[in-house]
Amino acid sequence: MQQHLEIPIRRRHLVRFNPKRIPHAFADVLVIGSGIAGIQAALEIPNNLETIIVTKDVLQLSNSAWAQGGIAGVFDPSDSFDNHAYDTMIAGAGLCNADVVEAVVKEAPELIESVVSYGAKFDFADGKLALTKEGGHSHRRIVHALGDATGREVMRAMVDRVKSKPGTQTWERTFTIDLLTHEGRCVGALVWNAQHGKTFIWAKQTILATGGAGQLYRETTNPEIATGDGHALAFRAGAQLRDMEMIQFHPTVLYIAGGSRHLISEAVRGEGAYLRDSTGYRFMEDYHPQLELAPRDIVSRAITDQMEKTQHPCVYLDLRHLDKKMVASRFPNIADVCSKFGLDLMHDQIPVRPGAHYMIGGLTVDKQGKTTLPGLWAAGEVTSSGLHGANRLASNSLLEGLFYGQRAGRGAADVASNLPDLFTAWPMKTSVVEPNNGEEEQLNITDLRNSLASLMWRRAGIVRNVQGLMQASGQVEFWDRYVCRREFSQVFGWEFQNMLLIARTVLASAEARRESRGVHYRSDFPETDSDMARHITVQATAEA
């Protein structure tokens, strides 16, 4: 079951171009993005196929590399696949695909072992993988690396492996402006970098693994690169998006006024840390029987509610009662970040508040990673796969990236290997437009971007209602009308145009879901409606 929305777009391509004046490159498979899903996909492509990996920054910078907690998988004899699947489905609040959940959790141990084979150094205890517990999990099943730097260590090993892979090129600091389509199929992408300008990359198959869109929000754990580019360029090309209202807010983000936001891993609460408000009261007892280990949506709303009650800008994580040696060994990176602000994990309470963390909604994909646009595959945070439903269970994200990266890589490679090298037969004129002779109009994009992030935080954040959503929609439409008719020549302009487009899909989907479910909470519709246990899909139409 699904409810379908259509959103008009003001332009199919962000820039105009002349194919006779732009260099062309050719690949069997083009991979856009270098997080865990993109690198996993590239590693699955046979060496005899030409693969190009395009990444917006450097290979090592991605949401995956910032992940602290770990990867969920059943290793404890007292645990089971049924338990992991049940916990995932409960967190997903009625929108998970049971077949997808079952397939992913059953393959988790094997996928984790494959990462070990890449050279990732996970933490061990008594000769076995060390396991911890996080919110929403009934058992200890989270494997971790370097204490609280799992993503960084996993990506180090995987990037090292892909760099030495024959037949694979990596184009770093290269921005993907748009997908190229011909006769309803994706046939590659238009990319840009400072050294070469624009380049066409024609590909037999394309895999999108561009991550999330946390920068839509003022408070976020995501790096600066997370601007929803993949969601936007696929949407403009005609791919379907799903559940765009479902954005997970992490409950505990380090809050220091004037300082950058840093994730404080769920594993801190998994090891026994308490949440206290500004009066010292341990408030989670008032909200959920699992206390600090309740699902993330519940903890985030509880923190928000407690901040309102106390009229204080944050709450506090208290680790002072925990074993000092355990804290030092499990959370060295968090301790280091806190120390830069004069905070000691063992003697000070750590100020935290929620922040946008994970984009659950994204491109609709099947179990193989195929999108609704032929020739285009997708994996990881850019997708809506059916694994997370309405609320992602902690430490299932890296797992999803491994699972779908593997399938998308294998699937795209199989198709590409059976297609002839007939790139020159594609009539490029039908896929492009003429160059622009006008000058780029200057706008204060930094001010606009800050205004958008603040608006989305206030009106489409943890608590939503129809008045706030409609107000935000009107403001975003106003910005979109004059920003998206302009043509920019640099990344910051293209990013902001993408952010405006994705904000429109989020707001429309959030207004259409007139209930509360998982991470989506409507104060004007606070109950879950059984009749709305369905997906909300959205697709682009041409502006009237």
The tokens for 61 are 């910078």
Half-sphere exposure of 539 (CA within 13 A, CB side): 11
Strand extents, DSSP E, 87-236: 124-125, 128-129, 131-132, 142-143, 168-171, 175-182, 185-193, 197-208
Strands 376-378 and 535-542: unpaired
Which residues have C-beta within 8 Å of that of residue 242, sequence separation ≥ 6? Answer: 2, 361, 362, 363, 364, 384, 535, 536, 537, 538
Strand extents, DSSP E, 222-299: 241-242, 247-254, 262-263, 274-276
Asked if 502 and 362 touch (Cβ cutoff 8 Å), the reply is: no
3-state secondary structure 286-332: HCCCCHHHCCHHHHHHHHHHHHHHHCCCCEEEECCCCCHHHHHHHCH
**b/e per residue 290-322 (b: at least 16 CB within 10 A):** ebbbbbbbbbbbbbbebbeeeeeebbbbbbeeb
Count of other CB atoms within 10 angstroms of residue 116: 15
Comparing C-alpha atoms, which of 340, 369, 325 is closest to residue 100? 369
Active-site residue, from 236, 242, 296, 330: 296
- What are the residue ranges of helices labelled H in 390-490? 397-417, 445-459, 466-483
Question: In the annotation, is 486 catalytic?
Answer: no
∠ CA 251-158-416, nearest 5°, is 110
Count of other CB atoms within 10 angstroms of residue 530: 8
CA distance 528 to 520: 10
What's the chain's length in residues?
Answer: 544
Asked if 229 and 527 touch (Cβ cutoff 8 Å), the reply is: no
CA distance 122 to 73: 13
Residue recorded with tokens 């290997």: 417
The residues that are catalytic are: 296
